[in-house]
Amino acid sequence: MNYILAPSILAADFKSLGQEMKKTWEQGAAYLHFDVMDGMFVPSISFGMPVLASIKGATEQVMDVHLMVHEPIRYIEAFKKAGADLVTVHLEACEDVQAAIDKIRTLGLKAGLSICPETSSESVKPFLNDVDMILVMSVHPGFGGQKFIPESLDKIRRIREMIRERDLCVDIEVDGGIYLSNVREVLNAGANVIVAGSAVFGGDSGKNTRDFMEILREYE
Ligand code: DX5
Ligand code: ZN
């Protein structure tokens, strides 16, 4: 299994976004996590396709687009055009979850399915065979800098168990409140893709990435 760091640029200083991205790439962060908020599925608004198109190519990082958007199927094609490599939709945001996943895959992108803290792990079961990644939210989506919800660990364990039982190759990404101090708990529970916003960009992003990567490599 690959262990991957996905720094979330929501917490980055946009005055020097390209340079910040480069620092994380040079220190081994294979993904860049791009949080799209629509002011409807979540209370806040972040950024969208033009920003993605502008930063695409600043590094060779996989553009990991997390759509916190109501009925995201409407925008999947536009995000592909803007440079997305992996698109994650929220189970709670889709009237037809399967159709959204199919659309992502038909466009040749990797598909992720995300669940909020109040959504059960069992709810992803019907879709496990059709996704590349499950994204477990360990905070309520909408804002960076929140506290990790410890109940997420059981959820990660349960989903990893379901993936193993079926002998599938599905990544588990975890997003929200992850720091150097608690990342091992998340990895031990069975996650292999780690999103970190404040913990990476809230200081020296190069050094923070290096510190995370040192831990992730212990698990390879
Ligand atoms: C929350 C976002 C997260 C957020 C994580 O809605 O999906 O990706 O940026 O930020 P931290 O790591 O600061 O909790
Ligand atoms: Zn996110």
Beta-bridged to residue 87, according to DSSP, are 65, 111
- Ligand showing the shortest atom-to-Cα distance for residue 199: 1
Cα distance between residue 147 and residue 144, in whole Å: 9
The catalytic position among 35, 38, 64, 171 is 35
Cα distance between residue 173 and residue 170, in whole Å: 10
Question: What are the C-alpha distances in Å from 94 to residues 41, 71, 77, 87, 101?
Answer: 10, 5, 16, 14, 10
Which DSSP helix (H) or strand (E) runs through 6?
A: strand 4-7
Q: Which residues contact 200 (CB under 8 A, 6 or more apart)?
A: 5, 7, 8, 11, 24, 29, 208, 209, 212
Q: What is the pLDDT of residue 136?
A: 99
Q: What is the pLDDT of residue 164?
A: 98
131: exposed, middle or buried (Cβ count in 10 Å: 0-12, 13-18, 19+) = buried
Q: Express each pLDDT in 52-80 by its tens digit.
A: 999 999 999 999 999 999 999 999 999 99
Nearest CA to ligand 1 atom 12: 197
Ligand 1 pocket, mutate which of 9, 10, 37 (most atoms under 8 A from CB)? 10
- Residue 64 annotated as catalytic: no
Index of the ligand 1 atom closest to the CA of residue 141:
6
Q: Express each pLDDT in 22-56 by its tens digit.
A: 999 999 999 999 999 999 999 999 999 999 999 99
Which DSSP helix (H) or strand (E) runs through 194?
A: strand 193-196
Q: What is the pLDDT of residue 25?
A: 98
Q: Please give the DSSP secondary-structure letter assigned to residue 43.
A: S
pLDDT in tens, the chain (220 residues): 999 999 999 999 999 999 999 999 999 999 999 999 999 999 999 999 999 999 999 999 999 999 999 999 999 999 999 999 999 999 999 999 999 999 999 999 999 999 999 999 999 999 999 999 999 999 999 999 999 999 999 999 999 999 999 999 999 999 999 999 999 999 999 999 999 999 999 999 999 999 999 999 999 9
- Residue 175 annotated as catalytic: yes
